[in-house]
C-alpha cells in the first residue's frame, strides 16, 4: 500500500480516532448533569425477566403517586417502519442495524426522555444504549464507533442487570416462543445454520459483553434465577435507597406538567 505522508497527516487530523484511541471522557449520568429527573434502565439477555421486573417497578412507583414514564427499546413510531422492513427483508448489515437502532433511540431520547427528565420525571427504560454496545460489538462494529454514536445521551442513574445463567434465559425464550426471527437469533452472524444453535451462540456472546460492562458501568446485578418477588423486592429497596422518591410526586409544588 502506498500512502503519501500528506494523506496520513490529513487523516490523522480529520479522524484522530482512527490512529489514536480517543480520550476516554466518561459520559455523565443525568444526575451528574443536573437533570431534576432520574433514569432507571434494565438490561439483560432475552428471557432474563427484566421486562417483568421493570413493569412491576413501574406499577409500584405509580401506586406511590410519582411521575413515571416508561420507554421501550426500538419503539419509536417514526423509525419502526424502516426497522421492521429492514428486518423482514433481511436488508440490514451490522452497520445499518446499528445506525437504525441509534436513530430509534435518538428519536425517543430527543422527544421524550430528555424533555421528561428535565421536567423531573422518573424515566424507566427497558434496555438502554448498553444493548447496542453489546449487540453491535458482537456483530463486529468497532466499540469506539458505537459508543461514540450514543455519546449524545447521558448514562442512566441506575442500571439493573438481570443476571441469569445462559441456560435459564435460553429455556425461557425457547419454551415460550419457538419461532425465532432472523436477527433475533443472530442468523446474520452466520454462527450456525440452525436458528436455535445460532441463538444460543449469539446469546452466549452477548452475555460475555454484559459481564464485561457490568463493572465498567456499575450495573446493579440482580440474580435472575431467584423468584420474581424476591428480585422485585431487591429492586424496590435499591431504588428507594438511591433515589429520593419523595421528590417525584405528581403534586409536588415544583412539578412541571
Partner 1 sequence: MNVPLRVKIKRRRIIAPRAKARRFYGQGLPGVDLSKLAGKLIVVEGADGSGRSTQIARLVTWLEECGHATVQVGLKRSTLVSEELEQAQQGNILSHTTLSLFYATDFADQLENIILPGLRAGLMVLADRYIYTLMVRDMVRGMDAAWVRNLYGIALQPDAVFYLNVPSEELVVRTFAKKQSLDYWESGMDLGLSRDMFDSFLQYQNLVAQRFKELQACYDFTIVDGRRSVDAVNRELRQRIQSVLQGE
Residues binding partner 1 (CB under 8 A): 1-3, 7, 10-11, 13-15, 17-18, 22, 78-79, 81-82, 85-86, 91-96, 99-100, 102-103, 106-107, 109-111, 139-142, 144-145, 148-149, 151-152
Closest distance between partner 1 and the C-beta of residue 227, in Å? 40
Closest distance between partner 1 and the C-beta of residue 36, in Å? 21
CA angle 97, 153, 243 (to 5 degrees): 125
Closest distance between partner 1 and the C-beta of residue 257, in Å? 22
What's the number of CA atoms in the CB half-sphere (13 Å) around residue 189? Answer: 24
Which one, 124 or 138, has the nearer CB to partner 1?
138
Which three cell numbers, joined as nine digits, stand for 195? Answer: 436458528
Which one, 82 or 201, has the nearer CB to partner 1?
82
**Placement of cell 500512502 in the chain:** 3
Which one, 95 or 165, has the nearer CB to partner 1?
95
Distance CA 188, CA 193 (A): 10
**Placement of cell 484511541 in the chain:** 21
Closest distance between partner 1 and the C-beta of residue 178, in Å? 29
Which one, 141 or 180, has the nearer CB to partner 1?
141
Closest distance between partner 1 and the C-beta of residue 52, in Å? 30
Which one, 114 or 203, has the nearer CB to partner 1?
114
SS3 181: coil
**Placement of cell 444526575 in the chain:** 31
Which one, 209 or 232, has the nearer CB to partner 1?
209
Sheet of 220-223: strand order equals: 68-72, 122-126, 38-44, 158-163, 220-223
Residue 252 to residues 21, 109, 215, 249, 255: CA-CA distances in angstroms? 46, 25, 35, 5, 5
Closest distance between partner 1 and the C-beta of residue 164, in Å? 29
Give bridge partners of residue 41 from the DSSP assignment.
125, 159
Amino acid at each position: 500500500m502506498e500512502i503519501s505522508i500528506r494523506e496520513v497527516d490529513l487523516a490523522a487530523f480529520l479522524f484522530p480516532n482512527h490512529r489514536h484511541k480517543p480520550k476516554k471522557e466518561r459520559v455523565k449520568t443525568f444526575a451528574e448533569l443536573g437533570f431534576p429527573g432520574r433514569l432507571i434502565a434494565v438490561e439483560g439477555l432475552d428471557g432474563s425477566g427484566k421486562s417483568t421486573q421493570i413493569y412491576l417497578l413501574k406499577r409500584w412507583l405509580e401506586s406511590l403517586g410519582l411521575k413515571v414514564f416508561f420507554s421501550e427499546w426500538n419503539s419509536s413510531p417514526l423509525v419502526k417502519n424502516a426497522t421492521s422492513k429492514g428486518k423482514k427483508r433481511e436488508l440490514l448489515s451490522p452497520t445499518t442495524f446499528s445506525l437504525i437502532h441509534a436513530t430509534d433511540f435518538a428519536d425517543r431520547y430527543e422527544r421524550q426522555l430528555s424533555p421528561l427528565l428535565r421536567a423531573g420525571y422518573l424515566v424507566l427504560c427497558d434496555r438502554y444504549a448498553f444493548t447496542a454496545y453489546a449487540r453491535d460489538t458482537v456483530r463486529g462494529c468497532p466499540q469506539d464507533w458505537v459508543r461514540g454514536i450514543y455519546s449524545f445521551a447521558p448514562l442512566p442513574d441506575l442500571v439493573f442487570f438481570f443476571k441469569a445463567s445462559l441456560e435459564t434465559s435460553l429455556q425461557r425464550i425457547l419454551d415460550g416462543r419457538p419461532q425465532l426471527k432472523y436477527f433475533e437469533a443472530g442468523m446474520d452472524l452466520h454462527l450456525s445454520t440452525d436458528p436455535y444453535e445460532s441463538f444460543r451462540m449469539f446469546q452466549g456472546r452477548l452475555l460475555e459483553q454484559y459481564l464485561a460492562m457490568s463493572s465498567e458501568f456499575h450495573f446493579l446485578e440482580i440474580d435472575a434465577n431467584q423468584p420474581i418477588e424476591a428480585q422485585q423486592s431487591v429492586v424496590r429497596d435499591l431504588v428507594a435507597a438511591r433515589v429520593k422518591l419523595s421528590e417525584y410526586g405528581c403534586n409536588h409544588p415544583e412539578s412541571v406538567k
